[in-house]
Chains A and B, each alone.
Chain A
Amino acid sequence: MLSDGSYIIAVSVLALIALGTRLSGAFLMAWVTPTPRIEKFLQGMSVSVIAALVASALVTADLKSFAATGSAIFIAALSRSVIWAMIAGMIVAAAYPQIF
């Protein structure tokens, strides 16, 4: 069980950390003079955080998720559309258990 007092403190901690991390990235960058090198760093970070989320999830994922993600990338390469890529991934994920 959780008392009302503990709930309020716990949710305040979570909410402040969530809001703090959301605000502070842009806030801190206000003091940094952008150079081409820093822009490259930020651009590299943008794509890396997305790629790292995918890789981190795939480490513990099943073959179905690998097949779906692979097909999504394949369709993204062909169609240049993220929506078609998602639809392809879903179809593969749904069909996978029927085939294997």
Chain B
Amino acid sequence: MVRNPQNVTLSAAGVARGMTRLLPICLFVVPFGIAFGIAATEGGIGPLQATAMSGLVFTATAQFAALDFLNDPVAFFSLGLVALALSGRHLIMGAALAQWINRLPPGKRFLTLMFLSDANFADTQTLLQRGDTDLGPLLGGGLMLWITWVASTGIGAFGGDLLINTEAFGFGVVMLCFFAATAFGMVRSTPSLVLPVFVAIGVSAATLPYLPNGWNIILAALLGGGVAAQCHAE
């Protein structure tokens, strides 16, 4: 990781590169978007409304979880808490990217953060650790994910009764492999991260049965960061 990166840019070429880099991942987002579109319309939400929801919220986990709450009368407070837990990790990713992001002009900063998601964050980590200072790939990857997510929700919501078995497409497995390989690459280039990673793995797995969904990941990330800072101090 570069300290105090200079000349942070948001190039169009970088955006295009990010879109291409995440294309393989996006193929596996499609069945999930379709499944969300179907589940939402079956839950009594109009197809246009379901598609708009994907465009505005753009957080698959929070959207699927929200479907359980979307019946009148809506428990808005509980809905908000669940959404906060499931998108809370964006706050952590934003903080981790701050030393690059905050060097962009406010408009570009806002635009890039709007499309922050797990996959483009993970992909960009590999590039930033290499010393790149172009945030184009972060925005491009996010745009690609957003377009795919909205379009596939629309297909599911308007296309109706297609039978989709998301497990058969192995979306979960592909995402897991992508994240695992990315984390492995980060640890290899910075061996001092071995301990924080094991702490994070242990904490998230051990607290999963006790913490509401999403909070275990936030806790694991905070403790992993704490261990990394502590190792540095010693």
Contacts and interface: CB of A to CB of B under 8 A. Distances in A.
B90 A25 contact: yes
B228 A44 contact: yes
Contacts of A52: 200-201, 203-204, 216-217, 220-221, 224
B145 to A, nearest CB: 13
B182 A50 contact: yes
B98 interface: yes
B190 interface: yes
Interface in B100-148: 101-102, 109-110, 113-114, 116, 118, 121-123, 125-126
Interface string A35-70: 011111111111111111111111111001100110
A38 B95 CA distance: 11
A47 B183 contact: yes
B182 to A, nearest CB: 6
B83 interface: yes
Interface residues on B, range: 35 or more
Contacts of B58: 18
B177 A90 contact: yes
Contacts of A22: 87, 90-91, 94, 113-114, 116
Looking at A15, A25, A76, the one whose CB has the most chain B CB atoms below 10 A away is A25
A11 B185 contact: no
Contacts, number: 305
A23 B208 CA distance: 26
A51 to B, nearest CB: 5
A55 B56 contact: no
Contacts of B125: 46-47, 50
A59 B217 CA distance: 13
Contacts of A29: 94-95, 98-99, 102
Contact of B170 (A47, A57, A90): A90
Interface of A: 1-3, 6-7, 9-11, 13-15, 17-19, 21-30, 32, 34, 36-61, 64-65, 68-69, 71-73, 75-77, 80, 82-83, 85-86, 88-90, 93-94
27 contacts: A1-B44, A9-B76, A11-B56, A14-B59, A21-B89, A25-B98, A26-B102, A26-B109, A38-B229, A39-B99, A43-B96, A49-B200, A49-B217, A49-B220, A49-B221, A50-B179, A52-B200, A52-B220, A52-B224, A54-B180, A68-B173, A72-B176, A76-B185, A82-B182, A86-B181, A90-B173, A90-B174
Interface of B: 1, 3-4, 24, 43-45, 49, 52-53, 56-59, 62-63, 66, 69-74, 76, 79-80, 83-84, 87-99, 101-102, 109-110, 113-114, 116, 118, 121-123, 125-126, 170, 172-174, 176-188, 190, 192-193, 196-197, 199-205, 208, 216-217, 220-229, 231-233
